[in-house]
Structure 1
Amino acid sequence: MLIRRAAPGDEAALWAILAPVIRAGDTYVLPRDMGEIEALTYWLGQDRETFVAEADGRILGTYYLRANQPGGGAHVANAGYMTAPEARGRGIASALCAHSLDRARERGFTAMQFNFVVATNTGAIRLWKRHGFEEVGRLPGAFIHPTEGPTDALVLFRTL
């Protein structure tokens, strides 16, 4: 598997990954009816680096890396990850996380923080904890899950 920067021409493959996650509405705080152009503009935004995981010529996952906050918080990284539905359970998200931690270090970040991890996203929480993240906060009922209703959101953090 190759992890590389997203490039022009990757948009269709990225949208194929983003769309089902956004439409499901159970892990990301993005509008479920977000359109393709808006989603790609968000994911490929000027304030972030976006990477893709590619195997056999197919993009199977993606992540972005950015400063969590400007100014006095710019030394802490933030990232978001998505994996193609057919590629889940194959270690793609774990490889993307490891890559993002290395890239964050290269860029001079001293920590990484996930601001809003939906508490029902237990697979992701287990994965992030395996990569050294700790729960440092819980936001009671901060997320309206499409089937579970009000659900807690977690703040996860690790130093680099």
Structure 2
Amino acid sequence: MLIRPATDDDDDAIAGILMPIIAAGETYALPRDMTRAEALAYWRSPSHHVHVAEGPEGIVGTCYIRANQSGGGHHVANAAFAVRQGSKGVGRQLCAHALDIARQLGFSAMQFNFVVSTNTRAIALWQSFGFAIVGTLPGAFRHPAQGLVDAYVMFRAL
């Protein structure tokens, strides 16, 4: 699998991955009725270093890396990931790649600000990479099927 910086030519594939995830409303605190243009503007923000994972069947995942905060928090990276449903191992490869890119960009840590507690596969994956849950936001996410659920802040040094 090739993981590379995204280009404008990747927008259709990125949108094809993002839109079902956003519409499901189970993992991202984004409006479920977000338009394609809004989703791409969010994901492809100029402050984001966007990458795609490309296999024989095309683009199967994407991630972005950015500074978590400005000013005094600019040394901590933040990242987000989206993988085509049914893809195996793509999230793991994207996470390893994002950690490498974050180091190359000079970040000294990475933080996930809002990991929905029901996203147990992602939580287990992040923990396998050394992320720890450092905070719980009780009832901070309105899950479409489960109601109010916790969100976690996860952190690791680079």
Q: TM-score, normalising length from structure 2?
A: 0.99
| Runs of at least 5 residues in structure 1 that lack an aligned partner in the other structure | none
Paired with 1:47 and 1:106, the residues of 2 have a C-alpha distance of 16
Paired with 1:84 and 1:57, the residues of 2 have a C-alpha distance of 11
User: Given the alignment of the two structures, is residue 56 of structure 1 paired with residue 56 of structure 2, yes or no?
Assistant: yes
Paired with 2:51 and 2:95, the residues of 1 have a C-alpha distance of 11
User: Given the alignment of the two structures, is residue 106 of structure 1 paired with residue 104 of structure 2, yes or no?
Assistant: yes
**What whole-Å deviation, never above 9, does each CA across 1:27-77 have from its counterpart, x for those lacking one?**
000100000000000000011110000011500000000000000000000
Instruction: Supply the RMSD in Å over aligned alpha carbons.
Output: 0.6
Paired with 1:102 and 1:133, the residues of 2 have a C-alpha distance of 15
What residue is the counterpart of 2:139 in the other structure?
141
- Aligned residue for 1:116, secondary structure, equals strand
**What whole-Å deviation, never above 9, does each CA across 1:98-127 have from its counterpart, x for those lacking one?**
000000000110000000000000000000
* Letter matched to residue 6 of structure 2: A
Pairwise CA distance, 1:86: 2.8
Paired with 2:6 and 2:24, the residues of 1 have a C-alpha distance of 24
* Letter matched to residue 5 of structure 2: R
In the comparison of the two structures, how many residue pairs are matched?
A: 158
* Letter matched to residue 3 of structure 2: I
Question: What fraction of aligned residue pairs are identical, expressed as a percent?
Answer: 56
What residue is the counterpart of 1:45 in the other structure?
45
- Aligned residue for 2:94, secondary structure, equals helix
What residue is the counterpart of 1:31 in the other structure?
31
- Aligned residue for 1:147, secondary structure, equals coil
Paired with 2:28 and 2:107, the residues of 1 have a C-alpha distance of 24
| Runs of at least 5 residues in structure 2 that lack an aligned partner in the other structure | none
User: Given the alignment of the two structures, is residue 78 of structure 1 paired with residue 51 of structure 2, yes or no?
Assistant: no
Paired with 1:9 and 1:108, the residues of 2 have a C-alpha distance of 28
